[in-house]
Structure 1
Amino acid sequence: MYQSYIWDFDGTLYDSYPIMLQAFVKTLKEYGFAPDPKDIYRLLKESSSKKVAEKYDLDFAEFTAKFKANEALDQRLPQSFPGTKETLRAVIANGGKNYILTHRDIYTTKELLEREGIAELITEVVGPENQFPRKPDPTSLLYLVEKYGMDKEQTVMIGDRTMDVLAGKGAAVKTIFYDIEDLLDVDADHIVHSMKEIEHIIQS
């Protein structure tokens, strides 16, 4: 159905939220707050870490640095969701290409991909190092569209958060909302609950 698949990383390709959420809660506690993990999780899914910082009236850059330091202390490594590698392979088998658009730094993203033999399935990873505005601003997505001459009707943004869908809409490409928990009501071209459902779209 599509030729260019632009994926979010955390929470879409990789199940990294348990580690991230623990680091967010730990960081907020260091500031003297007593956050409810469920509230933080929902805020992250509805918006982004920037909204968490705003909720607690914290400097975003400082908050992010502390969060990343706490996240780095966790010895666990995020793992890809079941079926991720097979789905990415299906894209290529059907003549398409995979790209990643993430707020995670590019080095760490590639390192995690390489650990599972997935890096070779990705054409390019765009992250904070590119210095584009954060999603939902569509600038980073449009960079990929323009660089690779993508047909917007044949391009789809896939993510687990509202901001991923908004970035896709802002760039006038198609959108897939990956909602494994039925947590949010988001207006996307496709709403799926598993990698297998995305694979069905790829092969349709």
Structure 2
Amino acid sequence: MKNNKYQGVLFDLDGTLLDTANDLGAALNYVLSQFDLPTVEKQVFRPVASDGAQGLLALGFADKITEYDQPALRRMFLDYYEENLAAETCLYPEVPELLQALNERDIPWGIVTNKPEYLTTLLLPNFTEFTHSQVMVGGDSLAERKPHPLPLLHAAEHIGVAPEQCLYVGDALRDIQAGNAANMSTAIAQWGYIKEQDNLATWQAKYISASPEKLLSII
């Protein structure tokens, strides 16, 4: 491990390791259809996928959302998603090779996501590549969630790596804020759900990585 720049790597999940946009978008469109509202095209919901149920519902219902019971909408969304959570979800290209390289180099790695823990626990076993993940922290696993640093600090402690020796990789501003606040190095997964208006240079990440393969060269 002495030749590795980082002794541990933590990843966001949606938009970083897994492309979950189609299944999340299907859940949004199911909810919209229940109220006879127009569905949302893939190119519109895809950049918002990292924002989860709340962000997607806000996108789909727009200024009408205050007319509805929002906790009920979220429950309907999550129930549908739970039943269909791996229908079209897949690993991003080069992610299997990245994770395998970490395994071969004995670099411990894990997942810190804002996705509810129960959904993450159901989703991960669909992909054998996650067998070697040493920790998983969901959005409701602890008292705080990203952009708070607590989930990252908890994960680093679990894998036995000091925060300053960890790299955290994510595709949303809250990921970089959490990593920086935890005193970790941070990398933006540029292949993820980046919005057109996002100015990545202002996020204060140490790295902007165009692909998982490029990320490996950083590690």
Greater displacement, 51-60 / 88-97: 51-60
Partner of 2:30: 26
Structure 2 residue aligned with 1:67: 77
2:109 matches 1:98: yes
CA contact (8 A) 1:89 1:121 kept: no
Question: 1:42 — aligned with what?
Answer: 47
Spell out, residue by residue over 1:101-157, the C-alpha distance to the aligned partner (whole angstroms, 9 max, x if none).
123344553454434322332101111452332322222112123344432221111
Deviates more, 1:63-72 or 1:109-118: 109-118
- What secondary structure sits across from 1:123 in the alignment? coil
Write out aligned runs for 1:1-16 (5 A): 1-16=5-20
Contact 1:101 1:141 in 2 (8 A): yes
**Distance in 2 (alpha carbons) for counterparts of 1:23 and 1:189:** 34
Which amino acid in the other structure matches residue 47 of structure 2? Answer: R
Residue range with higher mean Cα deviation, 159-168 or 33-42: 33-42
Alignment partners' CA distance in 2, 1:42 and 1:108: 21
Q: Which residue of 2 aligns with 1:200?
A: 217
- For 1:82, the aligned partner's letter is P
Provide TM-score, normalisation by structure 1: 0.81
- Whether 1:136 and 2:140 are equivalent positions in the alignment is no
TM-score (norm 2): 0.76
2:74 counterpart letter in structure 1:
T
The residue that corresponds to 2:187 in the other structure is 176
**3-state SS of paired residue (2:9):** strand
CA contact (8 A) 2:13 2:112 kept: yes
1:189 aligns with 2:206: yes
After TM superposition, the structure 1 stretch with the greater mean CA deviation from structure 2, 105-114 or 66-75, is: 105-114
Find out whether 1:163 has 2:180 as its counterpart: no
Aligned length: 201
Instruction: State the percentage of identical aligned residues.
Output: 23
What SS does structure 1 have at the residue aligned with 2:208? strand
Amino acid paired to 1:30:
Q
Cα RMSD of the aligned pairs, angstroms, is: 2.8
Q: Using the alignment, how far apart are the partners of 1:60 and 1:138 within structure 2?
A: 27
Q: How does 1:116-127 map to 2 (within 5 A)?
A: 116-127=127-138
Q: Which amino acid aligns with 2:101?
A: A
Mapped to 2, the partners of 1:36 and 1:116 lie a distance apart of 28
Residues 140 and 70 of structure 1: CA distance in aligned 2, closer, same or farther (over 3 Å): same
SS of 2:135's partner is strand
